[in-house]
Amino acid sequence: MPTTTANGITLHYEDNGDPANPAILLIMGLGAQMTLWPDELVAALVQRGFRVIRYDNRDIGLSEKMEGAKAPGIARQVIFGKLGFPPKTPYSLSDMAADAVGLLDALGIGKAHVVGASMGGMIAQLVAVEHPGHVLSLTSIMSTTGSSKVPAAQKEALDVLTKRPASTDRDVMIEHGLKIQRTIGSPGYPMDDTYARKLVTDGFDRSFYPAGMPRQLAAIVADGDRTTRLADVTAPTLVIHGEDDPLVPCEGGRATAAAIPDATLKTYPGMGHSLPLELVDDMADQISAHANAAV
Protein backbone atom coordinates (compact mmCIF):
# COMPACT_ATOMS: atom_id res chain seq x y z
CA MET A 1 0.00 0.00 0.00
CA PRO A 2 1.33 3.46 -0.88
CA THR A 3 2.16 6.50 1.22
CA THR A 4 1.97 10.17 0.38
CA THR A 5 2.69 13.51 1.99
CA ALA A 6 -0.49 15.27 3.07
CA ASN A 7 -0.72 18.38 5.26
CA GLY A 8 3.02 18.09 5.86
CA ILE A 9 2.97 14.52 7.21
CA THR A 10 3.18 11.04 5.73
CA LEU A 11 -0.10 9.14 5.42
CA HIS A 12 -0.47 5.48 4.51
CA TYR A 13 -3.50 4.77 2.35
CA GLU A 14 -5.22 2.20 0.18
CA ASP A 15 -6.97 3.07 -3.10
CA ASN A 16 -9.62 0.70 -4.46
CA GLY A 17 -11.77 0.76 -7.56
CA ASP A 18 -11.76 2.66 -10.84
CA PRO A 19 -10.02 6.06 -10.46
CA ALA A 20 -12.59 7.49 -12.86
CA ASN A 21 -15.44 6.73 -10.44
CA PRO A 22 -16.70 9.11 -7.73
CA ALA A 23 -14.45 8.92 -4.68
CA ILE A 24 -15.44 7.84 -1.17
CA LEU A 25 -12.96 8.70 1.58
CA LEU A 26 -13.21 6.48 4.67
CA ILE A 27 -11.91 7.94 7.96
CA MET A 28 -11.51 5.58 10.93
CA GLY A 29 -11.81 6.27 14.65
CA LEU A 30 -9.86 6.61 17.88
CA GLY A 31 -6.81 4.34 18.07
CA ALA A 32 -8.13 2.38 15.09
CA GLN A 33 -6.24 1.50 11.94
CA MET A 34 -7.82 1.78 8.51
CA THR A 35 -8.10 -2.02 8.45
CA LEU A 36 -11.06 -1.78 10.84
CA TRP A 37 -13.08 -0.70 7.82
CA PRO A 38 -14.28 -4.18 6.79
CA ASP A 39 -12.82 -5.36 3.49
CA GLU A 40 -16.36 -6.49 2.68
CA LEU A 41 -17.67 -2.92 3.01
CA VAL A 42 -14.89 -1.55 0.83
CA ALA A 43 -15.62 -4.22 -1.81
CA ALA A 44 -19.36 -3.54 -1.63
CA LEU A 45 -18.86 0.17 -2.24
CA VAL A 46 -16.46 -0.52 -5.13
CA GLN A 47 -19.04 -2.91 -6.57
CA ARG A 48 -21.59 -0.08 -6.40
CA GLY A 49 -19.43 2.11 -8.63
CA PHE A 50 -17.14 4.05 -6.33
CA ARG A 51 -13.44 4.62 -5.93
CA VAL A 52 -12.86 3.88 -2.24
CA ILE A 53 -9.92 5.27 -0.30
CA ARG A 54 -9.14 4.39 3.30
CA TYR A 55 -6.10 5.54 5.26
CA ASP A 56 -4.42 5.47 8.63
CA ASN A 57 -4.89 8.67 10.61
CA ARG A 58 -1.79 10.34 11.98
CA ASP A 59 -0.41 8.59 15.07
CA ILE A 60 -1.83 5.17 14.17
CA GLY A 61 -1.10 2.27 11.86
CA LEU A 62 1.55 2.93 9.22
CA SER A 63 1.06 6.70 9.00
CA GLU A 64 3.44 9.20 10.58
CA LYS A 65 3.72 9.20 14.37
CA MET A 66 3.96 12.39 16.39
CA GLU A 67 6.94 11.02 18.34
CA GLY A 68 7.86 12.88 21.52
CA ALA A 69 4.67 14.96 21.67
CA LYS A 70 2.97 14.73 25.05
CA ALA A 71 -0.78 14.91 25.52
CA PRO A 72 -2.18 16.64 28.60
CA GLY A 73 -4.12 14.47 31.01
CA ILE A 74 -7.82 14.35 30.19
CA ALA A 75 -8.92 15.48 33.66
CA ARG A 76 -6.55 18.46 33.42
CA GLN A 77 -7.87 19.25 29.94
CA VAL A 78 -11.46 19.26 31.11
CA ILE A 79 -10.85 21.32 34.26
CA PHE A 80 -8.63 23.91 32.62
CA GLY A 81 -10.96 24.06 29.60
CA LYS A 82 -13.90 24.94 31.84
CA LEU A 83 -11.79 27.70 33.38
CA GLY A 84 -11.11 29.12 29.94
CA PHE A 85 -7.47 28.00 29.79
CA PRO A 86 -7.44 24.82 27.71
CA PRO A 87 -4.03 23.11 27.74
CA LYS A 88 -2.19 22.88 24.45
CA THR A 89 -2.58 19.58 22.64
CA PRO A 90 -0.09 18.10 20.15
CA TYR A 91 -2.65 18.54 17.36
CA SER A 92 -6.36 19.13 16.86
CA LEU A 93 -9.24 17.39 15.11
CA SER A 94 -9.07 20.27 12.64
CA ASP A 95 -5.47 19.25 11.89
CA MET A 96 -6.72 15.72 11.26
CA ALA A 97 -9.45 17.07 8.99
CA ALA A 98 -6.72 18.95 7.08
CA ASP A 99 -4.86 15.62 6.78
CA ALA A 100 -7.91 14.13 5.05
CA VAL A 101 -8.16 17.07 2.65
CA GLY A 102 -4.41 16.92 2.04
CA LEU A 103 -4.73 13.27 1.07
CA LEU A 104 -7.48 14.11 -1.42
CA ASP A 105 -5.30 16.87 -2.86
CA ALA A 106 -2.31 14.53 -3.12
CA LEU A 107 -4.44 12.04 -5.05
CA GLY A 108 -5.79 14.74 -7.35
CA ILE A 109 -9.34 14.37 -6.04
CA GLY A 110 -11.17 17.68 -5.97
CA LYS A 111 -14.27 16.47 -4.16
CA ALA A 112 -15.23 13.26 -2.39
CA HIS A 113 -18.01 11.62 -0.45
CA VAL A 114 -16.57 11.74 3.07
CA VAL A 115 -17.48 8.90 5.44
CA GLY A 116 -16.22 8.75 9.01
CA ALA A 117 -16.73 6.33 11.90
CA SER A 118 -16.54 7.33 15.59
CA MET A 119 -13.67 9.84 15.90
CA GLY A 120 -13.49 9.56 12.13
CA GLY A 121 -17.07 10.86 12.05
CA MET A 122 -15.96 13.89 14.05
CA ILE A 123 -13.10 14.46 11.61
CA ALA A 124 -15.48 14.04 8.66
CA GLN A 125 -17.84 16.58 10.23
CA LEU A 126 -14.99 19.08 10.43
CA VAL A 127 -13.99 18.40 6.83
CA ALA A 128 -17.55 19.35 5.87
CA VAL A 129 -17.51 22.45 8.11
CA GLU A 130 -14.01 23.73 7.38
CA HIS A 131 -13.39 22.45 3.83
CA PRO A 132 -16.87 22.39 2.24
CA GLY A 133 -15.49 22.68 -1.28
CA HIS A 134 -13.98 19.20 -0.97
CA VAL A 135 -17.18 17.45 0.16
CA LEU A 136 -19.83 15.98 -2.13
CA SER A 137 -21.65 14.34 0.76
CA LEU A 138 -21.07 13.53 4.42
CA THR A 139 -21.79 10.27 6.22
CA SER A 140 -21.21 10.27 9.98
CA ILE A 141 -21.25 6.78 11.52
CA MET A 142 -21.49 6.00 15.28
CA SER A 143 -20.24 9.49 16.08
CA THR A 144 -21.50 12.51 18.02
CA THR A 145 -21.46 16.31 18.37
CA GLY A 146 -19.20 16.59 21.40
CA SER A 147 -22.01 18.17 23.42
CA SER A 148 -22.03 17.46 27.15
CA LYS A 149 -25.81 17.15 26.88
CA VAL A 150 -25.40 13.86 25.01
CA PRO A 151 -25.23 10.83 27.35
CA ALA A 152 -21.71 9.67 28.12
CA ALA A 153 -20.20 6.30 27.28
CA GLN A 154 -20.93 3.40 29.56
CA LYS A 155 -18.11 3.15 32.10
CA GLU A 156 -17.16 -0.40 31.14
CA ALA A 157 -16.91 0.57 27.47
CA LEU A 158 -14.78 3.64 28.17
CA ASP A 159 -12.53 1.80 30.60
CA VAL A 160 -11.79 -1.11 28.28
CA LEU A 161 -10.85 1.30 25.51
CA THR A 162 -8.67 3.66 27.51
CA LYS A 163 -7.13 1.46 30.24
CA ARG A 164 -4.47 -0.71 28.65
CA PRO A 165 -2.87 -3.72 30.39
CA ALA A 166 0.48 -3.07 32.05
CA SER A 167 2.09 -5.70 29.82
CA THR A 168 2.63 -5.09 26.13
CA ASP A 169 3.23 -8.77 25.47
CA ARG A 170 1.69 -9.78 22.15
CA ASP A 171 -0.60 -12.44 23.61
CA VAL A 172 -1.78 -10.13 26.41
CA MET A 173 -2.57 -7.33 23.97
CA ILE A 174 -4.41 -9.65 21.60
CA GLU A 175 -6.60 -10.88 24.45
CA HIS A 176 -7.23 -7.27 25.46
CA GLY A 177 -8.19 -6.45 21.87
CA LEU A 178 -10.70 -9.30 21.93
CA LYS A 179 -12.09 -7.96 25.21
CA ILE A 180 -12.56 -4.57 23.55
CA GLN A 181 -14.46 -6.20 20.70
CA ARG A 182 -16.72 -8.08 23.10
CA THR A 183 -17.37 -5.02 25.27
CA ILE A 184 -18.13 -2.33 22.69
CA GLY A 185 -19.23 -4.52 19.78
CA SER A 186 -22.73 -5.23 18.52
CA PRO A 187 -24.86 -7.38 20.84
CA GLY A 188 -27.26 -8.20 18.03
CA TYR A 189 -24.40 -9.28 15.76
CA PRO A 190 -21.74 -10.99 17.91
CA MET A 191 -18.48 -11.34 16.03
CA ASP A 192 -17.34 -14.82 15.14
CA ASP A 193 -14.48 -15.77 17.48
CA THR A 194 -12.13 -16.88 14.71
CA TYR A 195 -12.80 -13.74 12.66
CA ALA A 196 -12.38 -11.51 15.72
CA ARG A 197 -9.07 -13.12 16.70
CA LYS A 198 -7.71 -12.76 13.18
CA LEU A 199 -8.81 -9.11 13.02
CA VAL A 200 -7.15 -8.27 16.33
CA THR A 201 -4.02 -10.32 15.64
CA ASP A 202 -3.52 -8.86 12.17
CA GLY A 203 -3.98 -5.36 13.58
CA PHE A 204 -1.39 -5.91 16.31
CA ASP A 205 1.12 -7.40 13.88
CA ARG A 206 0.54 -4.60 11.39
CA SER A 207 1.23 -1.86 13.93
CA PHE A 208 1.25 -1.60 17.71
CA TYR A 209 1.63 2.04 18.76
CA PRO A 210 -0.21 2.84 22.00
CA ALA A 211 1.46 6.26 22.37
CA GLY A 212 -0.75 7.75 19.67
CA MET A 213 -4.11 7.11 21.28
CA PRO A 214 -3.78 9.61 24.18
CA ARG A 215 -2.88 12.33 21.68
CA GLN A 216 -5.89 11.51 19.51
CA LEU A 217 -8.13 11.46 22.60
CA ALA A 218 -6.77 14.84 23.66
CA ALA A 219 -7.70 16.22 20.24
CA ILE A 220 -11.27 14.96 20.71
CA VAL A 221 -11.60 16.57 24.14
CA ALA A 222 -10.05 19.84 22.96
CA ASP A 223 -12.49 20.13 20.06
CA GLY A 224 -15.43 20.41 22.43
CA ASP A 225 -19.01 20.89 21.30
CA ARG A 226 -19.47 21.06 17.52
CA THR A 227 -23.25 21.59 17.62
CA THR A 228 -23.16 25.25 16.55
CA ARG A 229 -20.53 24.61 13.90
CA LEU A 230 -22.52 21.70 12.45
CA ALA A 231 -25.32 24.11 11.56
CA ASP A 232 -22.96 25.38 8.83
CA VAL A 233 -22.72 22.02 7.06
CA THR A 234 -24.06 22.37 3.53
CA ALA A 235 -23.21 18.91 2.23
CA PRO A 236 -26.06 16.38 2.11
CA THR A 237 -25.63 14.38 5.28
CA LEU A 238 -26.45 10.83 6.35
CA VAL A 239 -26.04 9.83 10.00
CA ILE A 240 -25.77 6.11 10.81
CA HIS A 241 -25.80 4.78 14.36
CA GLY A 242 -26.29 1.60 16.32
CA GLU A 243 -29.17 1.60 18.77
CA ASP A 244 -27.12 -0.47 21.23
CA ASP A 245 -23.82 1.45 21.15
CA PRO A 246 -22.24 1.44 24.64
CA LEU A 247 -19.35 3.76 23.73
CA VAL A 248 -21.11 6.50 21.77
CA PRO A 249 -24.80 6.14 22.69
CA CYS A 250 -27.35 6.46 19.91
CA GLU A 251 -28.32 9.87 21.27
CA GLY A 252 -25.01 11.08 19.83
CA GLY A 253 -26.17 10.14 16.35
CA ARG A 254 -29.56 11.71 16.93
CA ALA A 255 -27.91 14.92 18.15
CA THR A 256 -25.66 14.96 15.08
CA ALA A 257 -28.62 14.57 12.73
CA ALA A 258 -30.53 17.29 14.59
CA ALA A 259 -27.59 19.70 14.39
CA ILE A 260 -26.99 19.37 10.63
CA PRO A 261 -29.60 20.92 8.36
CA ASP A 262 -31.76 18.35 6.54
CA ALA A 263 -29.65 15.39 7.72
CA THR A 264 -31.05 11.87 7.38
CA LEU A 265 -30.78 9.48 10.32
CA LYS A 266 -30.53 5.69 9.95
CA THR A 267 -30.31 3.55 13.10
CA TYR A 268 -29.78 -0.20 13.43
CA PRO A 269 -31.19 -2.24 16.33
CA GLY A 270 -28.57 -4.57 17.79
CA MET A 271 -25.63 -2.58 16.41
CA GLY A 272 -23.06 -1.40 18.93
CA HIS A 273 -19.77 0.38 18.34
CA SER A 274 -18.69 -1.79 15.43
CA LEU A 275 -19.44 -2.40 11.77
CA PRO A 276 -21.07 -5.86 11.71
CA LEU A 277 -20.53 -7.91 8.58
CA GLU A 278 -24.24 -8.76 8.61
CA LEU A 279 -25.03 -5.07 7.98
CA VAL A 280 -22.39 -4.45 5.32
CA ASP A 281 -24.69 -4.77 2.30
CA ASP A 282 -27.43 -2.61 3.77
CA MET A 283 -24.93 -0.03 4.96
CA ALA A 284 -23.30 0.02 1.52
CA ASP A 285 -26.75 0.53 0.00
CA GLN A 286 -27.43 3.42 2.39
CA ILE A 287 -24.10 5.13 1.72
CA SER A 288 -24.18 4.63 -2.05
CA ALA A 289 -27.81 5.78 -2.40
CA HIS A 290 -26.99 8.85 -0.32
CA ALA A 291 -23.87 9.58 -2.38
CA ASN A 292 -25.66 9.11 -5.70
CA ALA A 293 -28.50 11.40 -4.64
CA ALA A 294 -26.01 14.11 -3.67
CA VAL A 295 -24.35 14.39 -7.09
Per-domain residue ranges of the chain: 3-154+210-294
Q: In Å, what is the CA distance from 133 to each residue of 40, 114, 159, 189?
A: 29, 12, 38, 37
User: What pLDDT is stored for residue 75 in this prediction?
Assistant: 65
129/233 Cα distance (integer angstroms): 5
- Taking each continuous run of H as one helix and of E as one strand, the counts in the chain are 11, 8
- Domain 3-154+210-294 sits in CATH at 3.40.50.1820
Give the contacts of 144 (CB within 8 A, at least 6 positions apart). Answer: 121, 122, 150, 248, 252, 253, 255, 256
* Cβ atoms 223, 134 nearer than 8 A: no
What per-residue confidence (pLDDT) applies to 152? 93
Pairing status of strand 112-117 against strand 135-141: parallel
Segment among 84-88, 97-101, 120-124, 187-191 with least mean pLDDT? 84-88
**Considering the entire predicted model, what is its pTM?**
0.96
pLDDT at 78: 66
Q: What is the pLDDT of residues 226-285, one digit of tens each?
A: 999 999 999 999 999 999 999 999 999 999 999 999 999 999 999 999 999 999 999 999
Burial class (CB in 10 A: 0-12, 13-18, 19+), 92: middle
Q: pLDDT value at position 288? A: 98
DSSP H helical segments within 131-271, as ranges? 155-162, 170-184, 193-206, 212-223, 227-230, 250-259
3-state secondary structure of 143: coil
pLDDT on residue 43: 98
* Stronger pLDDT, 78 or 102, i.e. the higher one: 102
158: how many CB neighbours lie within 10 A of its CB? 15
Give every CB contact of residue 115 below 8 A, 6+ residues apart in sequence: 24, 25, 26, 27, 124, 138, 139, 141, 287
User: Is the pLDDT reported for residue 198 higher than 70?
Assistant: yes
Whole-number Å distance between alpha carbons of 33 and 61? 5
Say what the pLDDT of residue 216 is: 96
Burial track 232-247 (b if 16+ CB lie within 10 A, e otherwise): ebebbbbbbbbebbbb
What contacts 105, CB < 8 A, 6 or more positions away?
6
Mean pLDDT for all residues in the chain: 95
- Residues 22-78: tens digit of each pLDDT: 999 999 999 999 999 999 999 999 999 999 999 999 999 999 999 988 887 776 666
The pLDDT value given to residue 175 = 97
Identify the pLDDT of residue 112: 98
Mean pLDDT for the stretch of residues 114-120: 98
**Cα gap 288→57, rounded to integer Å:** 23
